[in-house]
Structure 1
């Protein structure tokens, strides 16, 4: 997945353009997940991600579309 593309978060739902990628446990955690995936070597100080959020990031990352 190209994490540097334009993405939109609406109430925890993540979109790339008009394509829905998944729903996170909160808006803040969706933004945090994007930050983590875009900058994996940078420290992350946002709200802790739920296990389901981490699983969703892995599933999105595995998607080649």
Structure 2
């Protein structure tokens, strides 16, 4: 996944362009996930489901 591309978050739902990527536990969790994937850092503050979603999105070939 190219994390530098435009992403949007609406009520915890992340979109890559107009494609739905997944729904996080909250808007702030989605924003934190984007920050972590773009800039590095620890995902320890995210819930396990949010970490799993980040990993699945990251594995996507978008």
Q: What is the match of residue 53 of structure 1?
A: 50
Superposition CA RMSD, Å = 1.4
After superposing on structure 2, the runs of 4+ consecutive aligned residues of structure 1 that deviate more than 6 Å are: none
Q: Structure 1, unaligned stretches of length 5 or more?
A: none
Q: TM-score with structure 1 length normalisation?
A: 0.87
> Would the alpha carbon gap of residues 60 and 43 (structure 1) be closer, same or farther in structure 2, given more than 3 Å must change?
closer
Q: TM-score with structure 2 length normalisation?
A: 0.91
SS in 2 for 1:57: helix
> Would the alpha carbon gap of residues 10 and 2 (structure 1) be closer, same or farther in structure 2, given more than 3 Å must change?
same
For residue 19 of structure 1, report the CA deviation from its aligned partner: 0.3
For residue 58 of structure 1, report the CA deviation from its aligned partner: 0.3
